[in-house]
Structure 1
Amino acid sequence: MAGIMRRLRSIIQPATISIALEGENGKHRIKRASDGEDEVLLPLIDGREPLRGTITIQTASGQRIDHKGITCEFIGQIELFGEKQQKNNFVSVLNQLEDVGAIQGEQTYRFDFSQIRKQYETYYGTNVRLRYYIIVKIARSVMANIIHEQEIVVRLLEKEPQENKNIRMEVGVKGSLHIEFVYSRSKYHLSDVIIGKITFVECRLKVKYMEIAILKKETTYVEGQSYTDSDNLMKFEVMDGAPVKGEVIPIRMYIKNLDLTPTFPLTDSTFQVKYLLNIVIFDEEDRRYFKQQEITLWRKTLV
């Protein structure tokens, strides 16, 4: 019986394939949900570092596998979800590990994709994801191909912006409300603190309370149409109660623990991600007065 089970396993899974990145033991790992919704740990790399490693193939019970070739491919892909799903490979580099032949037992191969530019950062969004992965394929004539995929998280570090002007905004209702908002900068790294102040220059309106929120706007582009998904990441109540003329309220918002990414400008003509500061004022009749200001987020550290 045990022999029969071993033979069955060798038919169902004739070989196991593993991919090890160079220096993997010293790399961070990022927890992500897989397509099956189970969480997996994915290796994290700096987009500037070389991508090299080894591939190990172990045939089941020393079984011999005839093949039409063994390949290793590095792919960068943008995938759109929703009604009009589509996938687009912006990077695809194929290495031939073996020509037609056979393998038996354990075989190890080296791969090197160091010369490939990783121009975008990995992104997991609501309607789009940008990912990188290595796929190993053992091509066979009669039986199904044997395929193994390893996803890799790529992050791109940036230098401190040379120009980082402050933000000034005004909200006003003629004759009854004039508020000035000042933020110390317009660009923030992902562990930063947003510092600013609110000044009530004129306030005859009966203000009930005021909120500042950080909004994320993800826009995807499909067949000439755009689709935007907005997410309120953080809501900060600035004040509760009526302010007086000349009152100044300091603002200090810590963004380190929010689920943030860098700002994505239009990426491969497929999607973009923006972040905005959204100010909302509620009066006693529950009318809303709001103002939005875009900010730029950038990555300072790998984790």
Structure 2
Amino acid sequence: MSIFFKAPVDIEIRLEAEDSRKHVDVKNPQGRIDKLPVYKDGETVKGSVTIRTKEGRKVEHTGVKVQLLGSIETSTDSITASEFLTLATELAEPSVLTHQETYPFEFKNVEKQYESYRGKNVRLRYYIKVSVSRRSSSEITREKELWVYQITEVPNESPSSIVKMDVGILDCLHIEFEYSKSRYSLKSGIMGKIYFLLARLKIKHMEISLIRRETVGAAPNQVTDSETVVRFEIMDGAPVKGETIPIRLFLGGFDLIPTYKDVNKKFSVRTYLSLVLIDEDARRYFKQSEILLYRDS
């Protein structure tokens, strides 16, 4: 027989101007959508905590504390958490709660050095945690998650920063994929051209895709998971030598995220541009090249 004890108080966390703040829809581990308020690096996080006693009860506590926490949680073997941000404020000294109490809190100009992320084997999250401590019982806690965007200034790339990717089979095929740069805003687009310099192989069709690769941990226990975010067929039929195919791939409409490189020495998330050719015998020839993605607004 299981016995469940209900907490003697309700805790409500409200953020300042929460209803008018921009929100983002994020899928949680249970497959449901969480609507989370968006914050930026350096932005103040403030709000209020309301504690209500239940059924007119008196609740003795040894203190009420609010924290702003940032943590990286990995689940490759078992779920482990590593905190990289810990800010705390005492809201109330030991006393007895007899009625509803509301406490304001404020964390000024908080450095949020990483962007929030939810992946297959890792998540990086920021959240408000309120704790009501009690002398003879376990503490009562409530959490409220934030979603943090890292805004990057548009990098300057010279007009000559063209990137080339070659796909070749000796004496059978030589393709050159040329695109404008290696760094892209999530709202921009990839523009380029594919040149057929040699085409003796009987190509049936060609496709281009964006692949997101999540890497968690370090060798030899490193875990990598790949996901195709978008795939387009860009050619159907056999090409001829000298043929050119223009490429325009606009990124704004896809579920893309910025590049994460060795975040707190825990994980990386990279995006690759992949060119795949399939011949008449269903053999596949491909080449991948990493592109760096960033958020600029």
TM category, shorter = over 0.9
Distance 1:79 1:171 in 2: 39
Aligned counterpart for 1:168 among listed residues 164, 168, 174: 164
1:245 aligned to which of 241, 245, 250 = 241
Counterpart mapping for 1:18-97 below 5 A = 18-34=12-28, 37-97=31-91
After superposition, the Cα gap between the structure-2 partners of 1:37 and 1:288, relative to the gap in structure 1 and judged at 3 Å, is: closer
* TM-score between the two structures when normalised by the length of structure 2: 0.92
Letter in 1 for 2:246: P
User: Does structure 2 retain, via aligned residues, the 8 Å contact 1:61–1:105?
Assistant: no
What is the total number of aligned residue pairs between the two structures? 292
Corresponding position: 1:273 with 2:269: yes
Tell me how far 1:41 sits from its aligned partner. 2.1
Distance 1:208 1:229, change over 3 A: same
Which stretch has the larger CA shift, 94-103 or 116-125? Answer: 94-103
Which structure's residues are more often helix, by fraction?
1
Paired letter, 2:264: D
Counterpart of 1:186? 182
Q: How does 1:110-189 map to 2 (within 5 A)?
A: 110-163=104-157, 165-189=161-185
Residue 34 of structure 1: CA displacement? Answer: 4.3
3-state DSSP class of the match of 2:155?
coil
**Distance in 2 of aligned mates of 1:138 and 1:294:** 47
> Which range moved further: 287-296 or 93-102?
93-102
**Following the alignment from structure 1 to structure 2, what is the Cα–Cα distance between the partners of residues 65 and 167?**
66
Q: How many angstroms does 1:62 deviate by? A: 3.7
1:231 paired with 2:227, answer: yes
Residues 76 and 223, structure 2, Cα contact 8 Å, conserved in 1: no
The CA RMSD over aligned residues, in Å, is 1.9
How far does residue 35 in structure 1 lie from its aligned partner after superposition? 5.4
Residue 138 (structure 1) shift = 0.7
Change beyond 3 A, Cα 1:36–1:99:
farther
Counterparts of 1:128 and 1:182 in 2: how far apart (Å)? 34
Asked if residue 284 in structure 1 is aligned to residue 277 in structure 2, the reply is no
**What TM-score do the two structures reach when normalised by structure 1?**
0.90
Q: Where in structure 1 are there 5+ consecutive unaligned residues?
A: 1-10
Output the CA distance in 1 between the equivalents of 2:45 and 2:23.
15
**Worse overlay, 235-244 or 162-171:** 162-171
Identical positions, percent: 38
CA distance 1:212–1:145, change in 2 (3 Å): same
Query: Aligned partners of 2:235, 2:63: CA distance in 1, in Å?
Result: 67
